[in-house]
Amino acid sequence: MIASRLWITSIFVLAVAVLSQPAAQERFDSPTAGIALQPPRGWRSATLAQVQANRQRVRLSDPELQAALATRSAMPLATFMKYPEPHAGLNPTVQVTLRPALDGSATRLLSSALSQMQRGFPNFRIVSPVHAADVGGWPGAHVRVSYTLKNAAGDSFDVLSRLWLVPRGPLMFLIGMSGTETGADVCEEEFAAVLASVEIRQ
C-alpha cells in the first residue's frame, strides 16, 4: 500500500499552467527507456524543472499525497502541452513516466490506485472503468477519470484524464493524457493520434 502511494502521484497528468519550450514537431524517442511517440503538431514540451514547479503549485485533498507529489513522485520522461504559457484555463497535456514495476496485473494495479486518487482530488469520478488495453503492441490497462484540479492560487479546473499503465519486464510505463471535460480542449482526436503513434521496445 505504501508503494502504491509513492507511485500513484505520477499517473495523473497535472494539466495546469507551466512555462513551456518551443513547439515540439519532432517525434519523441527515448532509446534508453525504449519508447517513442508523436506529440501533436504545435504542442510544447516542458522541462523537468518546470514540471516540478508545476507539481508544487497543485493542491490535493490528501496531505500525504500532497507531500509525495512534491518530494517523491517520479519525474516524467516527457511532457507535452497544447498552448504556450501563460495560458488562461486548463492546458491539455500528454505525459509519459517510467517506474519500477509492482506485483500484480496492469488492471489490478490501476484499479487499486483509484481509491487513493479519490482522496486527492475533489469530484473524482470514474468515466470509463479500468479494462485491459494494448499500447504499442504491449498488454496494459486503461481508465478514464474526471476530477477537479486546484492550484495554490485558488483556481479550479475540471479535468478529463485518460490513463494507461503498461508493464514491460521489471519496469512499467504510465501514460497520461488530460484535457477539459467539454469544448475544443477535450482533445480526443489529438490524444487518439498520440496513442496510435506509441512504440514500446524491449
C-alpha–C-alpha distance, residues 187 and 40, integer Å:
10
Contact 135, 175 (CB under 8 A): yes
* Average pLDDT score over residue span 108-125: 81
The number of beta carbons lying within 10 Å of the beta carbon of residue 159 is 24
Distant-in-sequence, close-in-space partners of 192: CB < 8 Å, separation ≥ 6: none
Cα separation values, 43 from 8, 22, 23, 187, 200, Å: 26, 8, 5, 12, 22
Name the residue among 106, 46, 44, 40 with its Cα closest to residue 77. 46
Q: Where are the beta strands (DSSP E) in 125-201?
A: 125-135, 138-151, 156-168, 171-180, 199-200
pLDDT of 17 above 70: no
pLDDT at 20: 44
pLDDT per position as a tens digit, 70-102: 554 556 788 898 987 666 778 898 999 888 898
pLDDT at 117: 74
3-class SS of residue 198: coil
3-class SS of residue 92: coil
pLDDT at 78: 87
* Rg from Cα positions in the chain: 15
C-alpha–C-alpha distance, residues 6 and 116, integer Å:
11
Q: Which three cell numbers stand for residue 188?
A: 480526443
pLDDT at 38: 96
Distance, C-alpha 195 to centroid of its chain: 13
Q: What is the DSSP letter of 118?
A: H
Q: 160: pLDDT confidence band, cut at 50, 70 and 90?
A: very high
C-alpha–C-alpha distance, residues 108 and 101, integer Å:
13
C-alpha–C-alpha distance, residues 133 and 18, integer Å:
31
Structural domains in the chain, CATH included, are 2-21+32-200 (3.40.1000.10)
